[in-house]
């Protein structure tokens, strides 16, 4: 039985599951509001899908395998980045970007400011996470609430982390659903299921052209059922590569239908399609392959965030706000504004 008085007491200690951008934005704003925050992250470091992967030897750098670039349309997002990431670790990626229309003709993409992390996408989330309490390599498996209505989180190694009066969940929807269901919170999971748009997979291949590709553009979206996007990662600011590293993203439906394909076959398929679509004749000499099981939502969604007041569980993430980097910011910032409006945190944080 929930004591309704307690559901109005201000938040003092909050656990956040996931340290992608949404988790980091929520943590930063909660901390400013005087709340003690701990982030739990299953991977080795923060960043989530704003990910870079070390390139295979003899290369000495990394490539952005997840988010390729992001928009900064919301002035509050710019302000947040300037304040908490600084001005050195992100900047504009300028270049020629094209797409192929239904008739097969190449068109320029709409002019837009495209921002990237410098020297890699994950530099931004690294910078924001400095000073936050991020427990990396901890995969949360279950949530349990005690008589005092405080949450304890249990990780997959059996470790327990307790004393939180609220929990913010930021993993992609299938993982959030699983966490809620395994915690006996199937009503919340059901509610989630009504709202979610399924995330699609994305096979990613990174290829190296030692003498350059001669593609003549920095990024393109072909009219292809195999290849969704190709980008010259070495053309982004602050990269210092020999030759050109290209990032190829598989079509979402094709990736979904082929999640079990052997990585070598994925590589051959996407490379052949890249060469066919771009007309590039250079041959690459080095590769890496990565599979995203949850990359981007199939459809755009607009709930922003979820707040289950009785349980004091929040859900935030890009998939609740358009499915992109800026959506992850907007989702978490919207949650913080909601908590302020409900008197659960002070208004020291900056509402958006």
Ligand X SMILES: Cc1cc2nc3c(=O)[nH]c(=O)nc-3n(C[C@H](O)[C@H](O)[C@H](O)COP(=O)(O)OP(=O)(O)OC[C@H]3O[C@@H](n4cnc5c(N)ncnc54)[C@H](O)[C@@H]3O)c2cc1C
When the beta carbons of 92 and 285 are compared against ligand X, the nearer one is 92
Distance from C-alpha of 221 to C-alpha of 98, rounded to nearest angstrom: 6
Number of other CB atoms surrounding residue 292 within 10 Å: 22
What residues contact 30, with CB distance under 8 A and at least 6 apart? 11, 14, 37, 336, 345, 349
Nearest approach in angstroms of CB 33 to ligand X is 19
Note whether 101 and 223 are within 8 A (CB).
yes
**21 is an interface residue for ligand X by CB under 6 A:** yes
**20 is an interface residue for ligand X by CB under 6 A:** yes
The binder of ligand X chosen from 179, 206, 306, 313 (CB under 6 A): 179
Quick note: the x/- pattern for ligand X over 114-153, rule CB under 6 A, is -------------------------xx-------------
The binder of ligand X chosen from 117, 171, 252, 334 (CB under 6 A): 171
**40 is an interface residue for ligand X by CB under 6 A:** yes
Q: How far is CA 94 from the centre of its chain?
A: 22
Quick note: the x/- pattern for ligand X over 310-349, rule CB under 6 A, is -------xx----xxx-xx---------------------
* Residues 183-212 interacting with ligand X (rule: CB under 6 A): 202, 204
Kindly write down the DSSP assignment for every residue of 27-58, as one continuous string: HHHHHHTT-EEEEEESSSSS-TTS-EEEPPTT
When the beta carbons of 20 and 284 are compared against ligand X, the nearer one is 20
Q: Which of 216, 204, 206 is nearest to 285 (CA)?
A: 206
Instruction: State the pairing for strand pair 286-297/199-209.
Output: antiparallel
The binder of ligand X chosen from 80, 90, 254, 292 (CB under 6 A): 292
Distance from C-alpha of 222 to C-alpha of 97, rounded to nearest angstrom: 11
Nearest approach in angstroms of CB 137 to ligand X is 9
**18 is an interface residue for ligand X by CB under 6 A:** yes
Number of residues that bind ligand X (CB under 6 A): 39
When the beta carbons of 241 and 318 are compared against ligand X, the nearer one is 318
Name the segment binding ligand X (CB under 6 A); options: 54-62, 67-75, 96-104, 268-276. 67-75
**233 is an interface residue for ligand X by CB under 6 A:** no
Reported in sequence order, the residue ranges of the chain that DSSP labels E, i.e. its strands, are 13-17, 36-41, 52-54, 62-64, 90-92, 97-100, 106-108, 115-117, 134-136, 140-145, 151-155, 160-164, 166-169, 199-209, 219-221, 227-232, 244-250, 286-297, 306-308, 313-315
Interface residue list for ligand X (CB under 6 A): 17-23, 40-43, 48-50, 66-70, 139-140, 170-172, 175, 179, 202, 204, 249, 292, 295-296, 317-318, 323-325, 327-328
């Amino acid at each position: 039985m929930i004591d309704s008085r307690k559901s109005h007491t201000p938040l003092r200690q909050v656990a956040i599951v996931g340290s992608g951008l949404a988790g980091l934005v929520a943590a930063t704003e909660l901390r400013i509001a005087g709340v003690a925050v701990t982030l739990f992250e299953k991977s080795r470091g923060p960043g989530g899908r704003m990910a870079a992967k070390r390139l295979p030897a003899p290369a000495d750098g990394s490539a952005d395998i997840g988010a390729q670039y992001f928009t900064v349309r919301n002035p509050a997002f710019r302000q947040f980045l300037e304040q908490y990431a600084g001005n050195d670790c992100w900047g504009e990626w300028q270049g020629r970007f094209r797409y192929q229309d239904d008739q097969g003709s190449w068109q320029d993409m709409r002019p837009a400011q495209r921002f990237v992390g410098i020297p890699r996408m994950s530099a931004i989330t690294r910078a924001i996470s400095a000073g936050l309490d991020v427990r990396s390599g901890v995969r949360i498996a279950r949530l349990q609430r005690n008589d005092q209505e405080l949450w304890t989180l249990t990780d997959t190694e059996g470790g327990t982390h307790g004393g939180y009066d609220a929990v913010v969940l930021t993993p992609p929807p299938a993982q959030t659903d699983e966490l809620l269901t395994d915690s006996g919170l199937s009503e919340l999971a059901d509610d989630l299921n009504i709202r979610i748009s399924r995330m699609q997979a994305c096979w990613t291949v990174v290829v190296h052209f030692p003498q350059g590709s001669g593609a003549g553009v920095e990024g393109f979206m072909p009219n292809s059922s195999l290849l969704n996007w190709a980008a010259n990662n070495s053309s982004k600011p602050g990269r210092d590569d020999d030759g050109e590293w290209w990032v190829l993203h598989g079509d979402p439906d094709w990736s979904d239908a082929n999640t079990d394909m052997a990585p070598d076959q994925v590589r051959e398929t996407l490379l052949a399609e890249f060469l066919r679509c771009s007309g590039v004749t250079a041959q690459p000499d080095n590769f890496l392959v990565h599979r995203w099981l949850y990359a981007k939502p199939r459809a755009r969604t607009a709930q922003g965030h979820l707040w289950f007041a009785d349980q004091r569980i929040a859900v935030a993430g890009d998939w609740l706000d358009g499915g992109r980097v800026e959506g992850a910011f907007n989702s978490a910032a919207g949650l913080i504004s909601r908590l302020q409006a409900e008197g659960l945190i002070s208004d020291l944080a900056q509402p958006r």
